[in-house]
Structure 1
Amino acid sequence: MKFEIITVTSRSVTIELANNQCVYAVKDFEVYVNNQVAKVTRNNVVTIYDLEPNKEYEVYVKALDDTTTSNIKVFRTNQEYVTLNVKDFGAVGNGEVYDTAAIQAAILSCPANGRVVIPEGKYLSTPIFLKSNMTLEIQKGATLLGSTVREHYPILPGLTETNDGTDEFYLGSWEGDPMDCFASLLTGINVENVIITGEGTIDGNASFENWWEDAKVKRIAWRPRLLFLRDCKNVLVEGVTVQNSPSWTVHPLFCQDIKFINLNVINPKDSPNTDGINPESCKNVLILGVDFSVGDDCIAIKSGKIYLGRKLKTPSENIIIRNSHMKFGHGAIVIGSEMAGGIKNIVASQCIFEETDRGIRVKTRRGRGKDGIINGLFAENILMKKVLTPFVINAFYFCDPDGKTEYVWSKEKLPVDDGTPTIRNIYYKDIKCEDSEVAAGFFYGLPERKIENIHLENIEITFAEDAKEDFPAMMSFLDKQVKAGFFIGNATNVTIKNVSIDDVIGEAFTYVEVDQLNN
């Protein structure tokens, strides 16, 4: 067995097995730290806690039924200047009184390279604001519980004019546009070198009796996220469970060099807009070992709807997704539909998609803009189980109030203009899809701007015996399907290599206006 050390903090280390298995190793294995068993698991990504700061450790792994061990790797934990316990600042942790002031006081008092600890207990709170150069540890048995009283939440304004009149200052965001929204239970604005770690829980306390009621109605301001990061750098979120979010669960916006490792992201299947992790206009993002079970898209990569996308032209780029398990939700990995700033270089591997409506999904439409370029989506070694339609690229997505206008749904070749998006360089390889239902895949580009360079290789798709019909994509004038093959329309340079579709009804592949077909 081989492994790599992924991250080291003052109190934890995360390792990743070097194998070709999706999410889980073939057999249970032990993780040894200084010759003591620290954990027995089958997860490819493992975090060990309760280490001491600035101390050298040796780590190795061994399969339970094997006498051989991996090589030993040596690491040193980070220095830690001081530990501040929120209970020393007056936090009660009984879930009945508000502990916001005590937690916020501990954070604001924390010096550089210090750690704020939330120990076992239930801490009722309104939004907490992070600061730079610190660690926030939510320990095992601890829950940071969000208030359900809207009036207790500060508002992040969407747009604020600067005093010199040369620009605007953006804070609040709602579905890709600058709008007033409530601050999140954990909020980071312009912070860097921050670690959020631990085996505890961040619970938004949302339900259909509070935040999810009349979800599409703005009341005072738009619903908060659970964790919102704005213009942040070098942030690690590791180990914690995040659940019951009022809307998008984890939302980094205009951030770079951020890592989400070994999280549990949990929201009910029917909860509205509770996407898991939504990087928006972010650069250098790692999503590793994350377990999703949500009510909307598990991962949705975005870059602004129209206004901010066109004005700031900041793409989401260099995003790696690996060894993560996506369950339920509308899509496992989704690009768009707010992508007016562009999205490029997305790499996904060793993941399991289970009972999501779609697997890898690209959604856009006319009006997203010439800077809305999706360029470079690479996925390989993926296992999909009971995914209704594994592969979707939809350039006619009928979102927004004008989403069902002729401008959006027309299949005529319209003039290329400032609203015309681009999709190119799609590469899918070594993917197995079991018990699909609706269609193997549905790719439909714009006639005036065809999808460029699609490569499908070593893909196996089977359908469930009791498959039920549904729509393969969200676009106007589309019929329901069941056990349909691949539809590819308005594309150029398409390569199909060793793709099998069992029990298909009708043609395995249907091509409409496809140039340069290679199979």
Structure 2
Amino acid sequence: MIKALFIGSVSACFELDNDSAYYNDYEYTVKLNGREVLSGNTNVFSLFDLEPHTDYTVEVTGHDPLSFKTAKETSAVSVKDFGAVGDGVADDTLSIQTAVNCLPAGGRLRFPEGTYLTGPINLKSHITIEFTEKATLLGTTDMARYPKIPGVITDLVTGEEVHFGTWEGNAVPMHQALLFAEYAEDIKIVGRGTVDGNAQNSQWWVDVKNQEVPRPRLIFFNRCKLVTVHGITAQNAASWQLHPYFSTELQFLDLSVNAPKDSPNTDALDPEACDTVNIVGCRFSVGDDCIAIKSGKIEIGRKFKQPANRHTIRNCIMQFGHGAITLGSEMAGGVKNLSVSRCIFKETDRGLRIKTRRGRGKDAVIDGIEFKNIKMDGVLTPIVMNMWYNCCDPDRYSEYNTTREKLPVDDRTPYLGKFTFRDMECLNCHVAACYCDGLPEMPIDEITVDNIKFTYAENAKSGVPAMKNNAEEMCRAGLYFDNVRKLTVRNVTVEGCVGDEVTAHNVALFTEE
């Protein structure tokens, strides 16, 4: 069956319904209204350069045809009609911003072939931005051109806080993103073009820990809803590439997100305190986590109690990042109802990577997490659940965060609930197959590992499976569990590990089949 994931005015995204991870079982051709338009072998494919408000029928080899109609739009204009040059030299910021400002609700702004050098651009509600195949939006390297956005401002009338800027889970000032929207809705960014932060040619990646204000993201949505990003390539952000924040009903479809393997904090996609997020058919290769699902540090979590909720990740491929799918460490509002399926992870440091610690708070609940039908190759440690994460926070080396003694459960104690991993193949592991370390006062509640195969690389290298204090290096280790209430290991094969295949400390209920 062919499923329509998104039908816009000029682009559409489809998914083949099968049991394969990312790739279809065979090469297929796609016909549009009887004319062959592309061939492929991935489970997700897209059509571009469509006509608005037009009937189409799409046919894929081996599947029944699907008819659809593109959306209406009120107008379509070229950014060049507003004076943009697109030669990569002229500053097109004013022309682009003017075009966005003038665009009527329901309108589309088209970027034809060219390189559009620009500073940050503010987006608004009810518009479509289309980057055609050979169009590139290129960020200026002049750091002074990225305005500083305040973290929190007090409302002049009510005295209430209004939130604008954020960095790593705190409401703090930040530099404005290249594409930026706050308190907006119904925004679509589509096409086969590129949004390039150009950080590789700037000073953004130099001495990153001593910059006065946190680096800009590439694309940032704050408290937005009904956002779709489809088809584009996003790359070379100063920090995180795509960062939706306290936003709802988001789609990220058939994207490519790229940054050098050694680029700092260039996470591909970090939805933070968002509800209903679909990430389907995307390709990630970056210098940090591929997807990091977050919900703020303790003050943000305590104030808003807004979990990252109802996220679906499917038919994606992740490579070279620190973690393929990371939860936290800024997760004080919680993470709930996450489904990851039919994905491929290649040469990431970790597959699933959970990062939390004492001090994230009682609202820091991660629960209802399912990974199924995943293929990993060359991942150092496929499954990591770490309640001792020791990065970023001032008290990272404190006695409170290092002692293995059982402490009282209080308002600072996080919670990890139910996790299911099934139907997975993890080949050429290095450090360990699985490493799960809970708190003695708050064990991980329930872990099920079902129908998974682990093998190890011939030249497996040692390393620490989790970033925590007093971590010991491992190599070819099996499945390690500490401080878990209920553990089920069923139909799991571990080929070539050194030592015990399964190590379980402080596990109250352990079933191995």
Aligned to 1:378: 370
Matched, 1:269 2:268: no
Q: Which of residues 236, 257, 262 in structure 2 aligns to 1:244? A: 236
Q: Distance in 1 between matches of 2:454 and 2:2?
A: 31
Residue 507 of structure 1 corresponds to 500
State the partner residue of 2:333.
Answer: 341
Q: Distance in 2 between matches of 1:208 and 1:309?
A: 36
| In the alignment, structure 1 residue 156 sits paired with structure 2 residue 156 | no
Match of 1:402 in 2: 395
**Which residue is equivalent to 1:95?**
88
Partner residue, 2:41? 42
- Give the TM-score normalised by structure 1: 0.97
Partner of 2:17: 18
Q: Please say if residues 28 and 40 of structure 2, whose CA atoms lie closer than 8 Å, have aligned partners that are also in contact.
A: yes
Could you tell me which amino acid in structure 1 is paired with residue 275 of structure 2?
K
Please state how far the C-alpha of 1:401 moved relative to its aligned partner.
Answer: 2.2
Mapped partners of 2:256, 2:429: distance in 1: 25
Counterpart Cα distance in 1 of 2:210 and 2:169: 17
Give the aligned partner of residue 200 of structure 2: 207
Q: Deviations over 1:325-370 (max 9, x none)?
A: 0010100000000000111001000000000000001110000000
* 1:230 alignment counterpart: 222
- For residues 3-28 of structure 1, what are the alpha-carbon distances to aligned partners after superposition, in whole Å with 9 as ceiling and x for unaligned? 21111001111110111111111221
The amino acid that maps onto 2:440 is: P
Deviation at 1:208, TM superposition (A): 6.9
The AA in structure 2 aligned to 1:202 is: V
Q: What SS does the aligned partner of 2:115 have? A: strand
For residues 65-80 of structure 1, what are the structure 2 equivalents within 5 Å?
A: 69-80=62-73
- In structure 2, what residue type is equivalent to 1:27? Y
Within 2, Cα distance between the matches of 1:153 and 1:122?
A: 19
2:322 matched to 1:330?
yes
Matched, 1:417 2:410: yes
Shift of 1:231: 0.5
Query: 1:495 pairs with 460, 481, 488, which one?
Result: 488
Partner of 1:61: 60
1:441 matched to 2:434:
yes
Please tell me the residue identity of whatever aligns with 1:498: N
Residue number among 169, 179, 183 corresponding to 1:186 in the alignment: 179
Question: Runs of at least 4 residues of structure 1 off by over 6 A?
Answer: none
- Aligned position for 1:303: 295
Cα distance in 2 for residues equivalent to 1:164 and 1:451: 46
Any conservation in 1 of the 2:114–2:134 contact (CA below 8 Å)?
yes
Q: Report the residue type matching 2:10 in the other structure.
A: R
Bigger Cα displacement from structure 2, 19-28 vs 204-213 = 204-213
Structure 1 pair 80/209, CA: closer, same or farther in 2 (3 Å)? closer
1:283-322 equivalences under 5 Å are 283-322=275-314
**Matched residues in 2 for 1:229 and 1:129: separation?**
10
1:127 matched residue in structure 2: 120
**C-alpha RMSD of the superposition:** 0.9
The residue that corresponds to 1:5 in the other structure is 4
The residue aligned with 2:211 is 218
Q: Which residue of 2 aligns with 1:486?
A: 479
Aligned to 2:469: 476
3-state SS of paired residue (1:84)? strand
Residues 31-87 of structure 1 show CA distances to partners (whole Å, capped at 9, x for unaligned) of 11101112111111001011111111111101xxxxxx4211111100011111110
Q: Distance in 2 between matches of 1:160 and 1:269?
A: 37
Whole-angstrom distance in 2 between the partners of 1:164 and 1:496: 58
Distance 2:376 2:269 in 1: 19
Provide the residue aligned with 1:65 in structure 2.
Answer: none
**Partners of 2:376 and 2:230 in 1: CA distance:** 25
Tell me, in whole angstroms, the C-alpha distance in 1 between the residues paired with 2:304 and 2:182: 18
Structure 1 counterpart of 2:108, which letter?
R
Specify the alignment match of 2:31 in structure 1: 32
Aligned length: 511
Distance 1:457 1:369 in 2: 30
| Letter in structure 1 aligned against 2:237 | S
2:169 to 156, 171, 176: 176
Query: Which residue of the partner structure matches residue 427 of structure 1?
Result: 420
Q: What SS does structure 1 have at the residue aligned with 2:130? A: strand
Name the aligned partner's letter for residue 481 of structure 2. I
Give the partner amino acid of 1:52.
E
Match of 1:109 in 2: 102
Is contact 2:141–2:201 with CA below 8 Å preserved after alignment?
Answer: no
1:218 to partner: Cα distance: 2.2
**Distance (whole Å) between structure 1 residues aligned to residue 485 and residue 36 of structure 2:** 54
Amino acid of the residue matched to residue 4 of structure 2?
I
User: How far apart, in 2, do the equivalents of 1:192 and 1:396 lie?
Assistant: 38
Task: Give CA-to-partner distance per residue, 1:402-432, whole Å, 9 cap, x none.
Answer: 1122211211100111110000110110010
Is the aligned partner of 1:362 residue 2:358? no
- Paired with 1:187 and 1:516, the residues of 2 have a C-alpha distance of 49
Matches of 1:249 and 1:140 in 2, distance apart? 20
Is 1:256 aligned with 2:243?
A: no
Amino acid at match of 1:189: E
User: Match for 2:21: what amino acid?
Assistant: C
Q: Give me the whole-angstrom Cα distance separating, in 1, the residues matched to 2:125 and 2:199.
A: 28
Deviations 1:131-160 (A, max 9, x none): 111100011100000011111111110111
Q: Does structure 2 conserve the Cα–Cα contact (< 8 Å) formed by 1:375 and 1:424?
A: yes
Q: Secondary structure at the match of 1:351?
A: strand
**8 Å CA contact 2:142, 2:202 repeated in 1:** no
Structure 2 partner of 1:66:
none
**Are the aligned partners of 2:141 and 2:202 in contact in 1 as well (CA < 8 Å)?**
no
Measure, in 1, the Cα distance between the counterparts of 2:347 and 2:223. Answer: 34
Contact 2:193–2:232 (CA under 8 A) maintained in structure 1: yes
Q: Deviations over 1:211-263 (max 9, x none)?
A: 100111223x2100000000000000000000001001100000000000011
CA contact (8 A) 2:451 2:490 kept: yes
Using the alignment, how far apart are the partners of 1:41 and 1:474 within structure 2? Answer: 39
Bigger shift: residues 103-112 or 235-244: 103-112
TM-score w.r.t. structure 2 length?
0.98
Give unmatched runs, 5+ long, in structure 1. 63-68
Bigger Cα displacement from structure 2, 397-406 vs 412-421 = 397-406
1:504 match: secondary structure: coil
**Are 1:207 and 1:213, in contact at CA under 8 Å, matched by a contact in 2?**
no
Q: Any idea what the Cα deviations from partners look like across 1:481-505, whole Å, max 9, x if unmatched? A: 0000111000111111101111010
